[in-house]
């Protein structure tokens, strides 16, 4: 029942935003991203996340969904053109790869949005099942740990 209601709400949001063709696909457990010190990366329409779905914080989903909206707003070609241009420019000027990948205008915007709760649209498009804020995520984790301790004793 809940799934049906959710599905129809998501369809309504798609109609309101005209976003029928925006379908990001989240792929978790991409542990190779650790090597690049990245929590996630958008290879549109795929969004690779370093951690498992259970261990992913809502702020990471918010960050990556911000990139999805940037692509929706500016177009996929513009998004990658500006991102790659920034990376090359930073590297040519002697910056590190981490600096190059985290200081573009798109990244700055995404880092700013991380502190906000996940919207209904974020949840629908990312098919997210977890908490909508990091605070809620931490509370749920604490409760789960307490439950495990109680069950073991
Ligand atoms: Zn980013």
Q: Exposed, middle or buried: residue 33 (CB in 10 Å: 0-12, 13-18, 19+)?
A: middle
Q: What percentage of the chain's residues is helix, strand, coil (to nearest 5)?
A: 65, 5, 30
Query: pLDDT tens digits for 61-98?
Result: 999 999 999 999 999 999 999 999 999 999 999 999 88
Q: Residues of the chain with pLDDT > 70: what percent?
A: 86
Q: Exposed, middle or buried: residue 95 (CB in 10 Å: 0-12, 13-18, 19+)?
A: middle
**Cα–ligand 1 centroid distance for 41 (angstroms):** 7
SS3 47: strand
**Cα–ligand 1 centroid distance for 7 (angstroms):** 28
Of the pLDDT bands very low, low, confident and very high (cuts 50, 70, 90), residue 60 is very high
Please say if the pLDDT value at position 24 is more than 60: yes
The model's pTM: 0.85
Sheet holding 46-49, edge to edge: 25-27, 46-49, 40-43
**Cα–ligand 1 centroid distance for 67 (angstroms):** 7
Mean pLDDT score of the chain, rounded to an integer? Answer: 89
Please say if the pLDDT value at position 103 is more than 80: yes
């Amino acid at each position: 029942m809940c799934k049906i209601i959710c599905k129809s709400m998501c369809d309504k949001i798609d109609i309101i935003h005209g976003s029928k063709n925006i379908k990001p696909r989240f792929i978790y457990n991409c542990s190779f991203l650790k090597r690049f010190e990245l929590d996630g990366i958008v290879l549109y329409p795929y969004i690779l996340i370093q951690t498992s779905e259970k261990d992913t914080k809502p702020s990471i989903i918010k960050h990556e969904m911000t990139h999805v909206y940037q692509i929706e707003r500016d177009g996929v070609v513009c998004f990658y053109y500006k991102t790659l241009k920034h990376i090359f420019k930073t590297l040519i000027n002697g910056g590190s790869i981490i600096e190059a990948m985290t200081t573009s205008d798109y990244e700055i915007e995404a880092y700013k949005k991380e502190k906000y709760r996940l919207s209904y649209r974020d949840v629908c498009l990312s098919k997210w099942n977890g908490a909508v804020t990091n605070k809620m995520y931490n509370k749920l984790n604490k409760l789960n740990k307490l439950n495990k301790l109680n069950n073991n004793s």
